[in-house]
Structure 1
Amino acid sequence: IKYNFCSLEAFYLTEPNEQKINALEKISINPHLCLCCCTFQTGRVDKNYPLVIGHSGPVLDIDWCPHDDNILASGSEDCTAMVWQIPDHALTRPLSEPIVVLEGHSKRVGIVTWHPTARNILLTAGSDNLIIIWNVGTGEPLISMDDHPDLIYSISWNRNGSLFCTTCKDRRLRVCDPRKRDVVAERLAPHEGIRPMRAIFTKDGNIFTTGFTRMSQRELGLWDPTNFEEPIALLELDTSNGVLLPYYDPDANMVYLCGKGDSSIRYFEITEEPPYVHYLNTFSSKEPQRGMGFMPKRGVDVTKCEIARLFKLLDKKCEPITMTVPRKSDLFQDDLYPDTAGPEPAMEPEEWLDGRNEDPILVSLKEGYVPPKSRELKVSKKNVLDSRPTTRRSMSTCDTNSLPRLLEELQNLKATVLSQEKRICDLENKLSQYTNGTA
């Protein structure tokens, strides 16, 4: 999997109130995170393959930045979130130095998720029931919310990042406005069962949920957050025990449902016509899945009518699954590939914090997606993850107005060094006198 192209997003199908296990434990050394750059080659990963080894506890969640394919955020049981710069090509040695360490939670960090349209905004949620929104460019927390009285199961931003929805162990579905630091809507028990729920925002602003009935049947629902009294749709599925995790494709308005221990993937289309959630098909295989990863739409092969690519994690291997539409034409299929979210952020963190909302900046897939060239990101107090290229200028092209200031600063530094050297010499002389017994 060539991660800087695919930006494979892995999630783990362990229940959040259990001791989470690194979903890659069979191919890496727990608690470290294994990032395999195989460029779609098959075969066993070398046991000595270099890992990302910065966390001191198991990695519970990861999320690739939607605006930079080389930036990865991770949350861990060590109560921290970290942001990593992953090189374009295979790691040649273990990566142990993150760009930013985000410390603000008192318990393990189980959820990390990037803002969909604003640069460098990252949300983290921990077992301390606290939600923190960070500007990772400065390493500073911008917003903290403690409205949840119990463990948070899932968090999903809406399309423009103005709201997010959460599911919680207290069985409530909430819609939060982070900039107002307020819960603007909530629903008690959208699914009557006590097992964990999941919720995601759809493109049109509705909320798709998965949960369990009172009789422990798995169930899905579609809700209008402006009117939580009755569901738009509610559909019972089966009696399996695995929590269903939804992945949403906003371009096709499709939802893929995967569950821990399942050997199948169901997919549905969400429409504005009854029954609103239409069952399409089921992909089945022999082996049950431990987890599932999904590649962003801009990584699919448009020449093969590929609309989705999934990576199914099994006990000892990772199996790619390709979803294609059976068409014979070699021409670009406009109806299959509407413009999709590109890597360019729509706004800066300060603009979002001031109340601005912007939808994702879209790109066409007609010529196939070409990832931008990777740029080295340097730590900066102003903006760590600013991927815009900096202009390198020699002294000959510097602003001449700054030269006197630089010379004055240099002279001050020289004077400071000389004074410190004199002080060091005096201290050494005194020490020598004590040693020789003359003092």
Structure 2
Amino acid sequence: MPDIIKKLIHIKKECFWLCKSPSPSSKFRHIQGAVLHRDTHITNLRGLHLTTPGECDGFCANGQRVAVPLAIAGGQIAVFELSQPGKLPDTALPTIQNSVNVADFCWDPFDTHKLVVAGDDAKIRVWQIPKGGLTETLTEPERVLRGHTEKIYSIKFHPHASGLLASSSYDLTVRLWNLETGEEVKRLSGHQDQIFGMAWSPDGKLLATVCKDGKVRLYDPRKSTLPIQEGPGPEGQRGARVVWVCDGKYLLVSGFDSRSERQLYLFSAESLASGSVASAPADVSPSTLIPFYDPDTSVLILTGKGDTRVYIYEIVPEAPYFMECSSFHSSEPHKGLCFLPKAECDVRDVEVARAIRLGKTTIEPVAFRVPRVKVRKEFFQDDVFPETAVWWEASLTAAAWLSGSNGQHRKISLRPNDMTPVSEAPKEAPVRKYLPSSVYLEEKTDEQKKEEVSLSVCPSIHPSVVCLFVLSESVSAYRLFVLSIVCLFVY
């Protein structure tokens, strides 16, 4: 008997090794993406421009309307009201006529009626959409910004200051513009090749860029026109994007490695020269992954033009950094995915993000939800809905920012008045799944009790667990043999 007990103790240790807890997982790991009901779709979309530059997202949306480039001479853009879903007419639609090919375009985050368009002619045009949407074709922009000497790559609005716009160009400069005056206010230099992407820091103090010369750069535009930091970026030269994550402590860059495979890289904003602190492989595809980051949940959502898969991660400021969540798959390739303000989410349905998906002939809302038990969904899930920054409201003017001031967005709760936070919900008594061992032993004879005690060192293994181990590639033949011995004792 002692020899048997020793062997069983060894088996118990082996089982513990196999059953030890896995690496940390995200509470958003089971996040689910779903296209909303057809009644919310805009259909019969025709004549899409499918070859927008790689630095352009392909289309853009805000909480009220969506702008889509058309394959019509003159750089025309159609604008559709999200409040007016349904089938579009077969006749011609009113559009914005830029007169030149569109390089990039975006909505003013603080004015849902203002669309800014960068063209092939190195000019930036500012358009004002009438209330209620386009009813006739627009041919005269509200303002034209002139200064770049070559075609523009991309444009980005400041996250806090109203009317402050950054633009990057083939002339290898990044310029800042005050839309109120139409003037160029800053010119940043230091790039040696094509500027793939740029992003403002969450506090609006710094501007990050990623370049074809293999460098990631950090600028403090109010202090210097040259980068204050520089470090090695992606080796691939197909394209790249950059976004700030983890309260501005890190930069997330999506790009390509030396084998042209898509990769995600994480850089510390305090030490770009040290290189990436972590990376995560994606797949092989010619299109750059376009990132969206939700600072409330630290959830990163990425997809590329022409993809059918949407990658989702939770980003954490320590190892393992990338916590992979469930992906969303669409039935057909999409032309782009654009995310709306957090206020558009249905918090009653635990919807943490709302996007607009541009398909071949449709515009569809997509909801990203966190599954919760039905009973608990009666409560406001304040563990995934903290107070959110009102980033759709400006906190200062462009002139104030240029003079040295910094803004801060006010925060609001998304909790409906008739919902109680789940943190204040009454605690439910845990349901006991198994009888206590004392009750179980009372039903045994004295001989059975002795046998139970002598074999107590051997853990009971459910057949499904054994099957799981057998299917695992990481279990060696030796450990499978050990498990077979356990099964002989248990069964």
Post-superposition CA distance 1:152-207 (Å, at most 9, x none): 1111000011101111121211111111222011113x222232221111223310
> 2:399 aligns to what SS in structure 1?
helix
Q: What is aligned with 2:239?
A: 196
**Structure 1 residues 141 and 196 mapped into 2: Cα distance closer, same or farther (>3 Å)?**
same
Q: What is aligned with 1:397?
A: none
Post-superposition CA distance 1:306-341 (Å, at most 9, x none): 211222222222232111222332443222322223
Structure 1 position 284, deviation (Å)? 0.6
1:130 aligns with 2:173: yes
> 2:276 aligns to what SS in structure 1?
coil
The structure 2 residue matched to 1:341, chosen from 365, 383, 389, is: 389
Structure 1 position 302, deviation (Å)? 2.3
Q: Comparing 290-299 with 328-337, which one deviates more in the overlay?
A: 328-337
Following the alignment from structure 1 to structure 2, what is the Cα–Cα distance between the partners of residues 67 and 12? 28
Structure 1 or 2, whichever has the larger Rg, is 2
1:239 aligns with 2:239: no
Indicate if the aligned counterparts of 2:70 and 2:78 stay in contact, CA closer than 8 A.
no
Indicate if the aligned counterparts of 1:267 and 1:279 stay in contact, CA closer than 8 A.
yes
Following the alignment from structure 2 to structure 1, what is the Cα–Cα distance between the partners of residues 204 and 328? 32
Q: What is aligned with 2:217?
A: 174
Q: What is aligned with 1:271?
A: 316
> 1:183 aligns to what SS in structure 2?
coil
Structure 1 position 93, deviation (Å)? 1.0
Q: What is aligned with 1:221?
A: 265
Following the alignment from structure 2 to structure 1, what is the Cα–Cα distance between the partners of residues 193 and 54? 12
Question: Which amino acid is the alignment partner of residue 319 of structure 2?
Answer: P
Indicate if the aligned counterparts of 2:52 and 2:102 stay in contact, CA closer than 8 A.
no
Question: Which amino acid is the alignment partner of residue 32 of structure 1?
Answer: Q
Q: What is aligned with 1:280?
A: 325
Following the alignment from structure 2 to structure 1, what is the Cα–Cα distance between the partners of residues 211 and 379? 46
Q: What is aligned with 2:81?
A: 37
The structure 1 residue matched to 2:204, chosen from 161, 171, 184, is: 161
Structure 1 position 30, deviation (Å)? 5.8
> 2:79 aligns to what SS in structure 1?
coil
Following the alignment from structure 1 to structure 2, what is the Cα–Cα distance between the partners of residues 50 and 313? 19
Q: What is aligned with 1:151?
A: 194
Following the alignment from structure 1 to structure 2, what is the Cα–Cα distance between the partners of residues 13 and 257? 20
The structure 2 residue matched to 1:353, chosen from 397, 402, 419, is: 402
Q: What is aligned with 1:115?
A: 158
Following the alignment from structure 2 to structure 1, what is the Cα–Cα distance between the partners of residues 171 and 295? 32
Following the alignment from structure 2 to structure 1, what is the Cα–Cα distance between the partners of residues 336 and 368? 17
> 1:70 aligns to what SS in structure 2?
strand
Q: TM-score, normalised by structure 1?
A: 0.75
Following the alignment from structure 2 to structure 1, what is the Cα–Cα distance between the partners of residues 353 and 104? 22
Following the alignment from structure 1 to structure 2, what is the Cα–Cα distance between the partners of residues 233 and 239? 19
**Structure 1 residues 359 and 97 mapped into 2: Cα distance closer, same or farther (>3 Å)?**
same
Indicate if the aligned counterparts of 2:178 and 2:398 stay in contact, CA closer than 8 A.
yes
Structure 1 position 213, deviation (Å)? 1.7
Structure 1 position 46, deviation (Å)? 4.7
Following the alignment from structure 1 to structure 2, what is the Cα–Cα distance between the partners of residues 109 and 26? 19
Post-superposition CA distance 1:75-112 (Å, at most 9, x none): 11132112222233132111233222111112222311
The structure 1 residue matched to 2:344, chosen from 280, 295, 299, is: 299
1:322 aligns with 2:367: yes
Question: Which amino acid is the alignment partner of residue 302 of structure 1?
Answer: V
Following the alignment from structure 1 to structure 2, what is the Cα–Cα distance between the partners of residues 311 and 217? 27
Q: What is aligned with 2:250?
A: 206
Question: Which amino acid is the alignment partner of residue 262 of structure 2?
Answer: R
Structure 1 position 26, deviation (Å)? 5.6
Q: TM-score, normalised by structure 2?
A: 0.67
Following the alignment from structure 1 to structure 2, what is the Cα–Cα distance between the partners of residues 89 and 330? 36
Following the alignment from structure 1 to structure 2, what is the Cα–Cα distance between the partners of residues 157 and 212? 22
> 2:343 aligns to what SS in structure 1?
helix
Indicate if the aligned counterparts of 1:305 and 1:326 stay in contact, CA closer than 8 A.
yes
Indicate if the aligned counterparts of 2:164 and 2:176 stay in contact, CA closer than 8 A.
yes
Structure 1 position 223, deviation (Å)? 0.7
Following the alignment from structure 2 to structure 1, what is the Cα–Cα distance between the partners of residues 320 and 309? 23
Structure 1 position 121, deviation (Å)? 0.8
5+ residue gaps, structure 1, are 3-10, 369-439
> 2:141 aligns to what SS in structure 1?
coil
Q: What is aligned with 2:103?
A: 60
Q: Report the count of equivalent residues.
A: 357
Following the alignment from structure 1 to structure 2, what is the Cα–Cα distance between the partners of residues 133 and 75? 14
The alignment yields a C-alpha RMSD, in angstroms, of: 2.7
Structure 1 position 236, deviation (Å)? 1.6
Following the alignment from structure 1 to structure 2, what is the Cα–Cα distance between the partners of residues 95 and 301? 34
Q: What is aligned with 1:99?
A: 142
What is the percentage of aligned positions where both structures have the same residue? 32
Following the alignment from structure 1 to structure 2, what is the Cα–Cα distance between the partners of residues 17 and 242? 10
Q: Comparing 88-97 with 263-272, which one deviates more in the overlay?
A: 88-97
Indicate if the aligned counterparts of 1:305 and 1:333 stay in contact, CA closer than 8 A.
yes
Following the alignment from structure 1 to structure 2, what is the Cα–Cα distance between the partners of residues 275 and 217? 21
Following the alignment from structure 1 to structure 2, what is the Cα–Cα distance between the partners of residues 34 and 25? 6
Structure 1 position 21, deviation (Å)? 11
- Structure with higher RCO (Cα < 8 A, 6+ apart): 2
5+ residue gaps, structure 2, are 1-38, 41-48, 61-66, 418-491
Following the alignment from structure 1 to structure 2, what is the Cα–Cα distance between the partners of residues 45 and 234? 47
Q: What is aligned with 1:142?
A: 185
Indicate if the aligned counterparts of 2:123 and 2:145 stay in contact, CA closer than 8 A.
yes
Following the alignment from structure 1 to structure 2, what is the Cα–Cα distance between the partners of residues 175 and 123? 14
Structure 1 position 25, deviation (Å)? 4.8
Post-superposition CA distance 1:385-437 (Å, at most 9, x none): xxxxxxxxxxxxxxxxxxxxxxxxxxxxxxxxxxxxxxxxxxxxxxxxxxxxx
1:310 aligns with 2:355: yes
Structure 1 position 304, deviation (Å)? 2.4
Structure 1 position 13, deviation (Å)? 8.1
